Amino acid sequence: MADETKPRSRTMRVLHGLWWLVDTGRRALLNLLLLAVIAAVAWTLLHRGPPPLADKTVLVVNPQGPVREQFSGSLRENALQKARGSELEQTRLRDLLTALDAGATDARITSALLVLDDFAGAGLPTLREVAAAVDRFRASGKKVVAWGSNYDQRQYYLAAHADEVWLHPMGGVEISGYGGRRTYFKDALEQLGVTAHVVRAGRFKNAAETLAASGPSPETEEADRELYDGLWADYTAAVEHARRLPAGSLAQAIAELPERLAAAGGDPAKLAAREGLIDAMKTRDQLRAALIARGERDGESFRQIGFADYAARFTPPAAGPAVAVVVAEGPIVDGEAGPGTVGGLSTAALVRRARDDDSVRAIVLRVNSPGGSAFGSELIRRELELARSAGKPVVVSMGDVAASGGFWISTSADEIVADPATITGSIGVIAVLPTAERALERLGLNTEGYRTSWAVDAYDPRTPLDPRMEQVLQSTIGHVYGQFLDRVAAARKTTPERIDEIGQGRVWSGAQARVRGLVDRSGGLRDALAVAAARAKLAPGYRVKYMEKAPGRAERLMAWFGGLGVSALQPALDAALPPPLPAPLAELKQQTAWLLQASEGRRPAAMAHCECAAP
C-alpha cells in the first residue's frame, strides 16, 4: 500500500505546483493590467486640457453662495458636498476677477451674463472689487447683461454695473438700507441663572454687549449711526452713478415706497422699471432667446461657459519673481486652523514660507477678519515684522472687515490699503467670564473642596466671580490694550495717546479710518498688489502667488475623484446632521463662537475681537 500511494502523492505535488504557478501568474498579470489602467486614467486626468473654446461665447458669471477670499472647509468636505449632487455653495473672489479680466481680452468671449439668483452676497468692499472687474470688462467694448428672478440689495449692486438689467416679470428689486436689530441675551441668561461678566478696555468695545446688556449702549448707538450712515451713502451714490439716476433718488424712493408701489398697481417689477432700476422684464426662456439672437446657438441654449470653468483655464506661472498673497479670513484663534479661520500658528507659518521663498519679493496680507485671540494675532504680526526685517515689503489689503485683531495683525505693514467701506479699527480688548452659580443653586447642586490658594479656581463658572480675579483680569486687559496702542502708534507714526482717542474699541469705515490716519490709501486688492510690486521694484509681468496650506494625500485623492462613491453614504450623512437651531439660539451660537474658542482651556483670555460683520 505504501508503494502505491507514493507516486500518486508525487504527481499531486507536481500538479499542485503547476497550478500555483498558473494562478500566481494570472493574478500578477491581472494586477499589472489593473495598474496599467489606473496609470492610464491618472495620466489622462492629469494631462487632458479643457475643450477648445468656440467663438461668440458668453461668459456666464453666476456666483454660488457668498463670495469669499478663499474656500472655507477642507477639500474633503467640499468633495463630499459635490458627491451629494449639490454645487459648492461658495465662490472665491479671485476666480470671479480672473474670469472677468481674462474675458475682457479674449476675442472668443463676446459678452458676459450676470445671473445672480444664487449669489448670497458679500460686504461692500468685495462687491466693489467685482463691480470694478465688470466695469473693466465693459471698458473693453463688450456688453454685460444682468438677469435675476429677484434682486436683493447686494445682488443689485452688481447688476447695476451691467449695460442692461433684466428682471423676471414676477420679480422685484429689494433695497432697504443698512443696520438692523441685535438680540440681547442678558435677561434670558439671568432667567437661566447665568451671568456674563465682561472686562474690557475701550468705551466702544461692544463685542460682548449682547450677552451683558438688555439693549445697546449710547456708545454703540453713536458708532453704529456714523458707520452705517457712511456705508449707506457710499452704496446709494455708487448705484445711482451706475444707473445714471439723480442723487438721492434711492432714499426718496424708499421713503415713498407704499405710495409708489400702489401707483404701480402693487407690481414690484413694474415699480422697478418706473424707477429706472431695470431695463426690461424677461422670463428665463426669453433671456435665452435674446442671447441666442445676439450670439450663437449651442443645443437648446446660447453658447456659453461658466466663470469657474473659464478661470480654471488660467494658471499662474510657476517661476519668476512673485508677490505672495497670504489670506487672513475669519476669526483668529491661537493654534492651527483651516480655511475660513485664521490660525495664529498656521497663518504665521504661511508668512514664514513666503519670507523663506527666494522667488517672493513682497507680501500682501489680505485681511477679512473681525479679530479674535490677541495672542494668535501677535504670532502673525511678529512673522510679518520678520519678513520686513528680511527686506521683503509687506502691504496689507483690507477686505470687508479688518477690525480688532484684524487690525492688530496689520500693524507690521509698510502700507495699509483699505476700501472706503471696510469695517476697521475696533482697537480695544475684551474678556468675558460667564458664571452659572445661580443655575446650580436652583438644581440643588453644591461645589466645595480644599484649595491651597484662592487662585486655584479663581475662575470657576460654577461659582461667583472672585473680585480678585476680576481685578487681575482688568489689569491684564489694560496691559494688552496698552500693547495694542503702542503697536498701532509705532506703525502709524504717532503717539499712543492719539491712538487711544480714536481707539476705545470703536469701529470706523475705511474712509473714516483714512481721515484719522489708521490707513494709508483707499483701494482694493489690485491696488495693494501694485503697491507691493512697486516697493519691491518689480517690473510688470510679475506673478501673484497665493500662500496656502497644501492638502494632504487623502484630501487630494478625494478632490481628484470628486468624492466618487461617497454618495452611497448619503443617508448616514443626513442622519448625522443636527437639525437647524431656532433663530435666536443660532444667533447666540454665532455671536459667542469666538468666546467658546477662547475658553476651551477654561482660562480667561484677552480677546481682540469685534462684534461686527460686513452689512
Q: Which amino acids are annotated catalytic?
A: 205, 404
415 and 433 Cβ atoms separated by less than 8 Å? no
Backbone angles phi, psi at 512, to 5 degrees: -65, -35
CA-CA distance, 175 to 157, in Å (whole number)?
10
User: Sign (positive/negative) of CA torsion 69, 325, 425, 589?
Assistant: positive
Residue type, 31: N
How many C-beta atoms surround the C-beta of residue 218 within 10 A? 8
> Among candidates 194, 223, 170, which has minimal Cα distance to 423?
223
CA-CA distance, 610 to 480, in Å (whole number)?
15
Residue 60 three-state SS: strand
CA-CA distance, 224 to 595, in Å (whole number)?
22
How many C-beta atoms surround the C-beta of residue 212 within 10 A? 18
Residue type, 325: V
Q: Tell me the pairing of strands 322-329 and 360-369.
A: parallel
How many C-beta atoms surround the C-beta of residue 4 within 10 A? 7
Residue 455 three-state SS: helix
CA-CA distance, 198 to 268, in Å (whole number)?
46
Residue with cell 492610464: 40
Q: Which three cell numbers stand for residue 69?
A: 477670499
How many C-beta atoms surround the C-beta of residue 338 within 10 A? 13
DSSP H helical ranges for 403-524: 405-408, 437-442, 467-492, 496-502, 510-515
Return the CA Rg of the chain: 30
CA-CA distance, 48 to 57, in Å (whole number)?
22
3-state secondary structure 276-323: CCCCEECCHHHHHHHHHHHCCEECCEECEEEHHHHHCCCCCCCCCCEE
Orientation of helix 374-389 relative to helix 344-356, angle to 10°: 10
514 and 508 Cβ atoms separated by less than 8 Å? no
> Among candidates 398, 363, 360, 407, which has minimal Cα distance to 383?
363
Q: Which three cell numbers stand for residue 29?
A: 498579470
Phi-psi region of 34 (alpha: psi -120 to 50; beta: other; left: phi over 0): alpha
Q: Which three cell numbers stand for residue 569?
A: 453614504
